[in-house]
Amino acid sequence: MKLRQVLFSCALLPFALAAQALAQDSTPETLQERVSEQDETIRRLEERLDRLEGKEQPAEEEPPEEESAPEASPPAHAAEEAYEQPWTERIELGMFYILDKEKHWRIDVRGRLMTDGRFLPERGHDDFNNGFQVRRARIEFRAKVYERISFDLGIEAGRTSDADLRNAYVTLQVFDPLRIRVGQMLLPYSTERLTSSKFLRHPERSILVASMVGLRDIGVLVHGPLFDGLAYYGFGLFNGNGQNQKLDTDDDFDFAARFEFRPFTDDTLRITTNYIYTPRDQTSAGPGDLRTVGNQFTKFLDYDSANRRRGRRHRAGGGILFSHGPFEVTSEVNFDYHEKVRSPTTTRSDLLNWAWFVGATWVITGEDLKQKHDGARVKPAAPLFDPSTGAMGPGAFQLSVRYEDLTIDKRTIRQGFAVGTDRVRALASTLHWYPWTDVRFSFNYTYSNFDDGVFDSKGRRHKDDHAIVTRFAFWF
C-alpha cells in the first residue's frame, strides 16, 4: 500500500500544479474541461497501478506455504555417481606404498638386494670357486585390508636362472591371539631361521639351522601373541615337500610348533622352544649333505644318495636371546633325529645329529638395537649424509661373533651312510658398516675345523678352511 500511495502522489503532483495555474489564467468553462481531462488521466493511472501491484507481493507479507508432492528419489547408481570421487582423490600414493585415505587397505612394496664376494684363499680347494654372486634379489608385496586380512607375496630372482616364490600367503586375524595363515611360508622353527636376512648378524646362518630347517613349505599355521605379548605360540601342518612344490607327494603332513616366552614388553629377552615332526615315508631320502658357512662352502659330510629313511624324523631345539642397549647375546641348541635310515648295503640305524652355538653382537658406535619379531635394527645416530640437515657422519659400526659346534652321529660314517668328518667347530666374526639404516657393508671371516679331516673330489685332505665373505646389502 505504501508503494501505491507514493506513486499516486507523484502522479498527481504535476496535475495539481497545472490546475492551480489554470485557475489563475483561464475562464470557468475552460477550467472545467481541463479538470475533466485530468480526472480521466488519473483514473487510467490508477488502473495501471492496480495492474502493477498485482504482479508484486507486498514487502510486509510472506508468501503462503504451498504443499508440494514429495520428490522422487534418484536411482541408486545416480546417487553413487553424484558422490563418487576420482580414484586419484581416494588414495594416497607414497614412495613405496599405496594407501586408501579411509584406511580400509594399504599396499606396501618391499625389496632387497645382496651381492657377495666369496673366497677360500688357501690353495687346494678345487671344489669351491672363488667369485662374486647375487645372493638375493627379492621384491615383496604386502597388503592389509580392514585390519583383519593381510597378504605377503615375495619373488626371488637371485638364486636361480628363473624367478621363484618365497613368501606367498594370506593371514586372517580372527582376533589378536588367533591368526590363521595359509600358503607358502617359513616353518615356525629357530629364532635364527626366522630372522630376516636383512638383520642377520653374519652373512650366513649356522650350519645345522641352515640345513635342518631348509627353506619354506606350503601349509596352514595358527599363531598369535598371548597374555598381552608375554608369550607367543605357533603351530601348523605342512606338506613336507619344501618350497614351490605344487603337489604333495603323500597323504601325510609335517607338524611344526613353536613357543616363545617374552617377559619384557620391549622384546629384549626371548626364550624359545621348537619342534617339527615328519611322519614315516618309505620313499623319503635320507639326511642331506652338509657344508661349512651356512651350508654354502666346503662339503664336510657326503651322504650316499641311495640312503632312505624308513622311519620318522624329529627336529627339536630351543634358544635364548638377550638384548640391552647396543649389546645382544643369543644361543641355540638343535637336534635332528632320523629313525630307521637304510643304506644301500641294507644297514639300518637311527641317526642323531646335533649342534649348538652362542653369539654376541656389539654396536661399536653406541646405537641401541631395536628388537623386532624378525630381527634387531641398527639406526645410525650420525649417517654418512643426512639430506635434511646436510650433515655428514661416520654411520654405525657393528661387530658380531659366533661359535658353533656340530656333532654327527658316529654311526653315520662307521656304518657307511656317509663319508667325511663327525665333528665341525667354527668361529665366525663379522664387521658391519651402516652408512644408512637400510644400507649395509659386511666383511666376514669364518674359520672351520674338521676333527677327522675331509677329502675333496681330487682326494686332497683338508683339516680346516678359512672362508671370507663380503656383502653389500640394500633394502627398502
What is the pLDDT confidence band of residue 248, given thresholds at 50, 70 and 90?
confident
Q: Is the pLDDT of residue 234 over 70?
A: yes
Q: What is the pLDDT of residues 396-415, one digit of tens each?
A: 999 999 999 999 999 999 99
CATH classification code of 91-475: 2.40.160.10
Confidence of residue 346 (pLDDT cuts 50, 70, 90): confident
Calpha distance 3→144 (Å, rounded):
72
**pLDDT grade for 348, boundaries at 50, 70 and 90:** confident
Question: Is the pLDDT score of 467 beyond 70?
Answer: yes
Per-residue pLDDT averaged across 199-220, rounded? 94
C-alpha cell at 350: 637311527
β-strand partners of 373: none
User: What is the per-residue pLDDT for 255?
Assistant: 97
* Phi/psi of residue 153, nearest 5 degrees: -135, 120
For residues 4-29, give the mean pLDDT: 47
Distances in whole angstroms, Cα of residue 360 to Cα of each of 9, 50, 287, 330: 109, 105, 30, 6
Q: What is the pLDDT of residue 39?
A: 73
In the chain, what percentage of residues exceed pLDDT 70? 83
User: Please, are residues 203 and 444 in contact by the beta-carbon 8 Å criterion?
Assistant: yes
Q: Which of 27-31, 262-266, 447-451 has the least mean pLDDT?
A: 27-31
The pTM of the full predicted model, rounded to 2 decimals, is 0.80
Q: What single DSSP character describes residue 48?
A: H
As a whole number, mean pLDDT of residues 419-443 equals 97
Whether the per-residue pLDDT at 216 is higher than 70: the answer is yes
Strands 164-175 and 149-156: antiparallel
Percent of the chain with pLDDT over 90: 64
Q: What is the DSSP string of 227-296?
A: TTTTEEEEEEEE-SS-TT-SS-SSS--EEEEEEEE--STT--EEEEEEEEEE---TT-B-PPPEEHHHHT
Q: Which among 259, 304, 270 is positioned nearest to 285, based on CA atoms? A: 304
Question: Residue 451: which pLDDT band, with cuts at 50, 70 and 90?
Answer: very high
Round to whole Å and give the CA distance between 213 and 436: 32
Q: Which stretches of 146-226 are assigned E, i.e. beta strand?
A: 149-156, 164-175, 178-186, 216-226
pLDDT at 124: 63
What pLDDT does 10 receive?
47
Q: Kind of pairing, strands 164-175 and 178-186?
A: antiparallel
Contact between residue 31 and residue 21 where contact means Cβ atoms under 8 Å apart? no
Q: What is the arithmetic mean of pLDDT over 242-250?
A: 80
- Residue 363 is predicted with a pLDDT of 98
Q: How confident is the model at residue 265 (pLDDT cuts 50, 70, 90)?
A: confident
Asked if pLDDT for residue 105 goes beyond 50, the answer is yes
Are 108 and 96 in contact by the 8 Å Cβ rule? The answer is: yes
Per-residue pLDDT band for 54 (boundaries 50, 70, 90) equals low
pLDDT at 79: 45
Q: Provide the pLDDT for residue 18.
A: 44
Task: Detail the DSSP E strand segments found in 367-422.
Answer: 370-372, 375-377, 396-407, 418-420
Report which secondary-structure segment, H or E, holds 476.
Answer: none
* Helix, strand, coil percentages in the chain from 3-state DSSP, rounded to 5: 15, 45, 35
154-206 residue pLDDT tens: 999 877 666 789 999 999 999 999 999 999 999 999 999 999 999 999 999 99
Find the range with the poorest average confidence among 134-143, 344-353, 425-434.
344-353
Give the domain ranges of the chain.
Answer: 2-50, 91-475
**Which pLDDT value is given to residue 31?**
58
- Please give the pLDDT value at position 29: 54
SS3 35: helix
Q: What integer is the mean pLDDT of 210-221?
A: 91
422-458 burial: b if 16+ Cβ within 10 Å, else e: bebbbebebebbbbebebbebebebebebeeebbeee
Which is more confidently placed, 274 or 54?
274
pLDDT at 128: 85
* CA distance linking residue 413 with residue 85, whole number of Å: 72
* SS3 category, 31: helix
pLDDT per residue over 26-42, tens digit each?
A: 444 555 666 677 777 77
